[in-house]
C-alpha cells in the first residue's frame, strides 16, 4: 500500500481487505485518525483492522470514549464524537494512552486536531450509497 491511498469500495468485504492490508503496516506507537460522517464505516474499519491482530471484540467506543483491546498488539480505540471539551480527554488521561507500546485509533479525530502527534495516519471515509464508500488514507509526517 502506497500513500496517499485512494480506494473506491463496493462492499464491506472490500473495506475489510483494505483495512487488513493497512493494518499489516502498523507498528506500536502509531496513531490513526478516522474521519467521515455518521455511519460511514469508521468503526467497521477499525474492527476489520483489529482482526489482523487477533482482536475480535471491537465495538464502538462512543459512550465509553475509549476501548482497550489486547491482541498481538495493544490497541487504544477512541471516539471523540461525544466529547464537548478537550479537558474531558485530559481528565481520563488521554496523554498516557498514546505510547510506544500501543497502536491508537481515533474516530472523529478532526474534533481535536491539536491532539494528533506530528506523525499519524489519516483515514477519511466518504459514504457514497448503500455499500459504496470512498476511502482515502494519508500519512502525515
Ligand atoms: N463498504 C462498506 N464499508 C464499511 N461499512 C459498510 C460498507 N457497506 C456497508 N457498511 C455498513 O455501514 C455501517 C458503518 O457503521 P460504523 O458504525 O462503522 O460507522 P461509523 O463511521 O463508525 O459511525 P459513527 O460516526 O456513528 O461512529 C455498518 O453497519 C457497516 O456494516
Ligand atoms: Mg463509530
Site to probe by mutation for ligand 1, drawn from 40, 46, 80 as the one with most ligand atoms within 8 Å of Cβ, is 40
Pair 41, 125: CB distance under 8 Å? yes
- Show pLDDT as tens, one digit a residue, over the chain (141 residues): 999 999 999 999 999 999 999 999 999 999 999 999 999 999 999 999 999 999 999 999 988 999 999 999 999 999 999 999 999 999 999 999 999 999 999 999 999 999 999 999 999 999 999 999 999 999 999
Q: Which atom of ligand 1 is nearest to 37's Cα?
A: 25
Site to probe by mutation for ligand 1, drawn from 12, 15, 41 as the one with most ligand atoms within 8 Å of Cβ, is 41
Query: Cα(17) to centroid of ligand 1, in Å?
Result: 15
Provide the 3-class DSSP secondary structure of residue 63.
coil
Q: Which atom of ligand 1 is nearest to 10's Cα?
A: 1
Q: C-alpha cell of 61?
A: 467506543
pLDDT at residue number 62? 86
CA dihedral 76, 77, 79, 80 (to 10 degrees): 20
Q: What are phi and psi of 117, to 5 degrees?
A: -70, 175
pLDDT at residue number 44? 98
pLDDT at residue number 20? 98
pLDDT at residue number 10? 98
- Whether the model clears a pTM of 0.95, i.e. scores above it, the answer is yes
Which ligand places an atom closest to the C-alpha of 37? 1
Distances (CA, A) of 87 to 1, 79, 95: 36, 15, 11
In CATH, which of 3.40.50.920, 3.90.870.10, 3.40.50.300, 3.40.50.1370 is domain 5-133?
A: 3.40.50.300
Query: Cα(132) to centroid of ligand 1, in Å?
Result: 10
d(CA 79, CA 82): 8
Amino acid at each position: 500500500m502506497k500513500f496517499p491511498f485512494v480506494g473506491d469500495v463496493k462492499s464491506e468485504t472490500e473495506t475489510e481487505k483494505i483495512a487488513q492490508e493497512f493494518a499489516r503496516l502498523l507498528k506500536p506507537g502509531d496513531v490513526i485518525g478516522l474521519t467521515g460522517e455518521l455511519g460511514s464505516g469508521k468503526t467497521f474499519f477499525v474492527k476489520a483492522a483489529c482482526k489482523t491482530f487477533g482482536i475480535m471484540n471491537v465495538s464502538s467506543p462512543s459512550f465509553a470514549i475509549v476501548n482497550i483491546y489486547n491482541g498481538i498488539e495493544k490497541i487504544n480505540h477512541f471516539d471523540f464524537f461525544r466529547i464537548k471539551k478537550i479537558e474531558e480527554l485530559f481528565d481520563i488521561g488521554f496523554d498516557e494512552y498514546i505510547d510506544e507500546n500501543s497502536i491508537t485509533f481515533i474516530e472523529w479525530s478532526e474534533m481535536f486536531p491539536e491532539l494528533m502527534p506530528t506523525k499519524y495516519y489519516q483515514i477519511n471515509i466518504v459514504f457514497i450509497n448503500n455499500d459504496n464508500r470512498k476511502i482515502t488514507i494519508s500519512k502525515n509526517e
